[in-house]
Amino acid sequence: MIILFILVSAWCFDGSGFSIAQLLGSSEYLLRFLREAFPPIDEHRLTFEQFHRYWLALIETFQMAFAGTLLGLVIGFILALFASRGLMFESRRSNLLQWSVKMLISLFRTVPDLVWAIIFVMVVGLGAFAGTLTIMVDTIGFCGRFFAEEMEDVDRSSAEALSASGARRFDIVFAAVVPAATPGLITTSLFAFEKAIRSSVVLGLVGAGGIGLELQSLMNWMAYDRAMVIIGMIFALVLVVEQLSSYLRKLVMKNER
């Protein structure tokens, strides 16, 4: 088993073209990038107007991520209700429906976000709207799967007690299953938002709005100093969102004793 693992690893490293010599040999390019990138802020090169523009792009990135996540959460939740085994319908009657919804969610999840971005840029044109749609589809894929699993994992005995007292399935789902799954649903949503923030940053590379577009053009012009400013801003945004989200997650967990 271990030998197999070593063989597979060797095979993969061979195929990946990994080479320390190459990495060291090209260090002059890295040094050049770093030399030109620092100091990133130099009043002769970075004007206030430029910074203001980056700032707006950063805000747009955040807005895209937030709006896209929100839409994705709502749609993902609705799809998850149908993708979850034996939740909305008797399991044997709805196998086909459940399977097709699951497949749809998998499709949303497995196609990478950059590919969706390229498609949406083609459909609705360059800009933040394409990015928002991309984030939405990505979130549906992520939340659809995990929401469904969380609702499947809920202890169904209280749901059965309600079913035995004549409640409708729809009411049982929202009165018993969803409340029991709430902590999981909230933490998944927070993860989805973190993920959305990270991916919204790169969506600009293919023209789907946000700060990635600025970064892309600066890199093309070899304006590494200003690119560095943007990288710093992205770093700060991601850090703030991740900290906030983990704080909220702890808050949810604390309520669960």
Partner 1 sequence: MVAIVTAEDIAMSYGSTSILKGVSFALEAGESLSLIGSNGAGKSTLIRCLLRLEPITTGRISLFGREIQNLKPSELRSTRCRVGVVFQRHNLVPRLSVLSNVVHGALGRNTQTFGSMISGITLWSHITAGSAHRERAMECLERVNLADLAHRRADSLSGGQSQRVAIARALMQDPDLIIADEPAASLDPIAGEEVMGLFSELCREAGVSLIFSTHNISHAVDFADRMMAMKSGRMSIDCPTGSVDLKALKAEYA
- Enumerate binding residues for partner 1 (CB under 8 A): 155, 157-158, 160-168, 170-172, 174-176, 179-180, 182-183
- Report the nearest approach of partner 1 to the CB of residue 181 (Å): 9
Of 173 and 223, which CB lies nearer to partner 1 in the complex structure? 173
- Report the nearest approach of partner 1 to the CB of residue 86 (Å): 13
Of 136 and 176, which CB lies nearer to partner 1 in the complex structure? 176
User: CA dist 193 to 13, 72, 109, 179, Å?
Assistant: 34, 10, 15, 21
- Report the nearest approach of partner 1 to the CB of residue 166 (Å): 3
φ, ψ for residue 254, nearest 5 deg: -65, -35
Report the alpha-carbon distance of residue 26 to residue 23 in Å, rounded: 5
Cα angle, residue 207 at apex, residues 206 and 212 outer, rounded to 5°? 80
Of 163 and 246, which CB lies nearer to partner 1 in the complex structure? 163
Residue in 246, 250, 243, 234 with CA at minimum distance from that of residue 65: 234
Of 52 and 93, which CB lies nearer to partner 1 in the complex structure? 93
Q: H helices of 45-177, where?
A: 48-83, 95-110, 113-124, 128-153, 157-164, 169-172
Residue 155 has what DSSP assignment? -
- Report the nearest approach of partner 1 to the CB of residue 70 (Å): 22
Of 78 and 180, which CB lies nearer to partner 1 in the complex structure? 180
- Report the nearest approach of partner 1 to the CB of residue 95 (Å): 18
